[in-house]
Amino acid sequence: MSDLYRSALQARIAKLPQIPSDVADDDEAEESADDVGALPSAMAPPRTTPRPRKAPNAAFTPISAAEYFKDAVQVAVPDSKLDMRVYYTPPRMPVGESESAGSVMICHHGAGFSGLSFACFAKEVTQMTSGECGVLALDARRHGKTMPTDGSPDDDLSLDVLVADVVNLLQAIYPDPAAAPTFFAVGHSMGGAVMVRACPLLQERGYGVGGVVVLDVVEGTALEVLPHMPMILSSRPEGFDSVEEAIEWHITAHQIRNPTSARVSVPSLIVPSHSNPLKLRSYPLTWRTPLGTTGPYWESWFSGLSSAFLAARSARLLVLAGTDRLDKQLMIGQMQGKFQMVVIPNTGHMLHEDDPTKLAETIVEWWRRNERVVVGVKKVGEL
């Protein structure tokens, strides 16, 4: 295991939300009352009194995503049997120029998150480019507000299916490759693995892909940390009493270090739960995508990521939250100048939420260098 992931694991364990003493005392009292030895000889009926609900904290009130994207729409994607949620700010084109002359960053979130994790980043990109570069963030299947159609199952999160979803979505939005803008693919963690594999398929279909950005994932260290994921996931609450509580947990547990971004993105991560009067501890809200159920797909997402990234026929950028130790393929590739690598300090795994301004500065600068390239001159990352 790399030093980064070892220290990250230790830091995560040390920073797990601590149970306040008053809550702990309440839990002990409840557990004592629920002890089997305290039951009468005849089995008592199940306790149906709901547990006390925590009052919402106004400091963590959700923020609408309306000011971060121009549009939020559902896109019918028949080939994937999905109704996909897309958050989109189109590029502002000069008078007389068609959209095909513009650029759009296509953003894919990581496992368990949603397109709104790019909300603050999208706003920064729009401001820094004066709207010249558009941003499109999507909700993957079983995430956010993307839903299956015709009663079709959406529980298959295998890599090929996720890649096909992205390609099918972009073909539905931009049916004519010649009239489509140039795509710059941006993917976080699982999303990075998806976007790297989607790029060559889009190019085969005639779409222009100017570059691919992978956020905070390296194949070697990702595979090393997978055996420890169940321990990390065990620290996640089963549910929440309110949206405000969910936002507060993400901030206090250091899952997201930017309160503003958390107030925009976290509401899309939870859904109403099915009530169970027989359960002593039931919550009105639960996870939209329980990460434990995605375990069977983890290894397939990241295996072969380094070689696929280096083989991309476009500019390449790797952005990390720490000085991660690159695996052998990436180390050789970096020495050969095949991609650019940037480390954004003082951020965690959700670096695009933790410091969206710095990430936007990094990617916009990279985009400007690769947006318009003279024919015959290689782009950065194509040396």
Domain that holds residue 96: 70-227+295-371
Question: What local confidence, expressed as pLDDT, does residue 356 receive?
Answer: 98
pLDDT tens for each residue of 216-257:
999 998 999 999 999 889 889 999 999 999 999 999 999 999
326 in Cβ contact with 217 (< 8 Å): no
Does residue 96 lie in a domain region? yes
278 in Cβ contact with 49 (< 8 Å): no
295 in Cβ contact with 155 (< 8 Å): no
- pTM of the full structure: 0.83
Q: Which of 80, 114, 117, 189 is catalytic?
A: 189
Distance of CA 289 to the CA centre of its chain: 12
Does residue 380 lie in a domain region? no
pLDDT tens for each residue of 276-294:
655 656 789 999 999 999 9
Question: What local confidence, expressed as pLDDT, does residue 223 receive?
Answer: 93
Q: Which of 139, 154, 165, 216 is catalytic?
A: 216
Q: Which of 211, 208, 212 is nearest to 182 (CA)?
A: 208
274 catalytic residue (yes or no): no
Q: Are strands 71-77 and 82-89 parallel, antiparallel or unpaired?
A: antiparallel
pLDDT tens for each residue of 106-134:
999 999 999 999 999 999 999 999 999 99
How large a percentage of the chain has pLDDT more than 70? 79
CB atoms within 10 A of CB 377: 7
Q: Which residues in the chain belong to E strands, given as ranges?
A: 71-77, 82-89, 103-108, 133-138, 147-148, 182-188, 209-215, 239-240, 270-272, 285-287, 315-320, 340-343
For position 300, which CATH number holds? 3.40.50.1820
Whole-angstrom distance, CA of residue 23 vs CA of residue 19: 6
pLDDT tens for each residue of 183-218:
999 999 999 999 999 999 999 999 999 999 999 999
347 in Cβ contact with 256 (< 8 Å): no
Whole-angstrom distance, CA of residue 164 vs CA of residue 299: 18
Question: What local confidence, expressed as pLDDT, does residue 98 receive?
Answer: 64
Question: What local confidence, expressed as pLDDT, does residue 282 receive?
Answer: 78
Does residue 207 lie in a domain region? yes
273 catalytic residue (yes or no): no
Confidence of residue 160 (pLDDT cuts 50, 70, 90): very high
3-state DSSP call for residue 320?
strand
Q: Which of 108, 109, 143, 349 is catalytic?
A: 349
Question: What local confidence, expressed as pLDDT, does residue 93 receive?
Answer: 75
How large a percentage of the chain has pLDDT more than 90? 72
Does residue 149 lie in a domain region? yes
Residue 208 CA: distances (Å) to CA of 37, 134, 174: 69, 15, 12
Question: What local confidence, expressed as pLDDT, does residue 41 receive?
Answer: 38
The DSSP call for residue 211 is E
**How many domains is the chain partitioned into structurally?**
1
Does residue 199 lie in a domain region? yes
User: 5 versus 55: which is more confidently predicted?
Assistant: 55
